[in-house]
């Protein structure tokens, strides 16, 4: 169980980079995400299962979600062939040929043992022509049916379907309607973090959010700027994930309510203030901006760790405040007045996890 709206830090390889599970939990994080593609290739899902499953492997006792691996195949691997039957690609680790289809993706996720798993989908680039998006929707729907049929742990793993369709509202509605008829345990919007832009994303959210089954969790995949989250919650979305808190933290970039700060800047060299005044995270309670800046320039691991912890806490404080505003019936006022709801992609820094 976890509270929604919820933000999931990303543990791509089975860990939140550089941060102990206990410290992740203390940021207020209730659920984390791990990556099927990476864990399938290394150490292998059978190894994880033999050890006792992903919860034991990660030493994480809360809920875990695994994605299907499809996005990573399209973004990281050397694709050889994609067809209605599946995807043939070369591993980015050793160049070995790998085949992934809906049955295999679900089998891997069953073995990993996450609480929520995802159906395999096709995620084309956001600027792909509409005919490419249409073929991706057809394939995603076909694979969704096959994913449902292959799911062997329905009693203890929820399976979510993924809506595709790029920025085409009609394709999105068609995909949503057909997925809803399959009665998944939850529904995700995919393909909205691939360069389509905020305006296009907002349009899709306004159109699709109310169309997704209201009695099931609704998950916006890979979108995680505070502004994007706030707008998405207003459209009915419940779950989010993104590498931004930890990725940017490792690049000396900190989220604060008054705007981002980049601690490599010389003006922080002798700054005795915490990263963010009023923040209750471990970094802010124990270290100054000057000290954390020093750790980055000295090549000490502690700098990236501390800012990752701070950024995760920033996000979890935001989510808690959003939940509180919804409960109090004043989310509209919160959305328009809280400065965190204005933090957008101009603040990005760093490279992919």
Q: Tens of pLDDT along 44-63?
A: 999 999 999 999 999 999 99
Using 50, 70 and 90 to split pLDDT, how confident is the model at 348? very low
pLDDT at 346: 60
Q: Give the pLDDT score at 72.
A: 85
Whether 352 shows a pLDDT value over 50: the answer reads no
In percent, how much of the chain has pLDDT > 90?
Answer: 86
Question: If you average pLDDT over every residue of the chain, what do you get?
Answer: 94
pLDDT of 225 reads: 92
In the predicted structure, residue 310 carries a pLDDT above the cut 50? yes
Domain limits, the chain: 31-242
Peptide bond connecting 43 to the previous residue in cis, omega within 30 degrees of 0: yes
pLDDT at 76 over 80: no
Interval 258-270: pLDDT, tens: 999 999 999 999 9
Interval 136-165 mean pLDDT: 98
Report, as residue numbers or ranges, the catalytic residues: 67, 241
- For the ranges 210-214, 226-230, 341-345, the lowest mean pLDDT is seen at 341-345
Of the pLDDT bands very low, low, confident and very high (cuts 50, 70, 90), residue 320 is very high
**Domain 31-242 indexed as CATH 3.90.1150.10:** no
Query: Above pLDDT 70, what percent of the chain?
Result: 97
Is the pLDDT confidence value at 347 over 60?
no
The pLDDT of residue 256 is above 90 = yes
pTM here is 0.95
pLDDT at residue 353, as a whole number: 42
Are residues 99 and 87 in contact, defined by beta-carbon separation less than 8 angstroms? yes
């Amino acid at each position: 169980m976890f509270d929604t709206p919820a933000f999931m830090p990303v543990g791509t390889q089975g860990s939140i980079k550089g941060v102990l599970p206990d410290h992740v939990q203390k940021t207020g994080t209730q659920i984390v995400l791990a990556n099927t593609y990476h864990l399938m290739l290394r150490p292998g899902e059978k190894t994880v299962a033999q050890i006792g499953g992903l919860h034991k492997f990660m030493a994480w006792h809360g809920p875990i979600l695994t994605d299907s691996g499809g996005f990573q195949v399209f973004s990281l691997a050397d694709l050889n062939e994609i067809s209605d039957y599946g995807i043939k690609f070369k591993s980015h680790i050793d160049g070995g040929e790998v085949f992934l289809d809906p049955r295999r993706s679900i089998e891997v996720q069953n073995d990993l043992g996450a609480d929520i798993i995802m159906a395999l989908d096709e995620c084309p680039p956001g600027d792909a022509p509409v005919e490419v998006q249409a073929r991706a929707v057809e394939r995603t729907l076909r694979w969704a049916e096959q994913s449902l049929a292959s799911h062997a742990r329905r009693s203890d793993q929820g399976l979510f379907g993924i809506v595709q369709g790029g920025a085409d509202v009609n394709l999105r509605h068609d995909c949503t309607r057909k997925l809803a008829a399959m009665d998944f345990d939850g529904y995700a919007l995919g393909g909205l973090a691939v360069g389509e832009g905020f305006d296009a994303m907002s349009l899709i959210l306004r159109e699709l959010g109310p169309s997704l089954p209201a009695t099931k969790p609704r998950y916006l995949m890979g979108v995680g700027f505070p502004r994007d989250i706030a707008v998405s919650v207003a459209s009915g979305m419940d779950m989010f994930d993104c590498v931004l808190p930890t990725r940017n933290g490792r690049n000396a970039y900190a989220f604060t309510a008054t705007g981002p700060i980049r601690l490599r800047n010389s003006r922080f060299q002798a700054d005795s203030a915490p990263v963010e005044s009023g923040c209750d995270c471990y970094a802010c309670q124990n270290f100054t901006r000057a000290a954390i800046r020093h750790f980055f320039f000295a090549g000490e691991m502690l700098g990236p760790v501390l800012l990752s912890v701070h950024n995760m806490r920033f996000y979890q404080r935001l989510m808690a405040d959003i939940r509180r505003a919804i409960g109090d019936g004043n989310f509209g006022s919160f959305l328009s007045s809280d400065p965190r709801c204005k933090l957008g992609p101009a603040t990005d820094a760093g490279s992919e996890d």
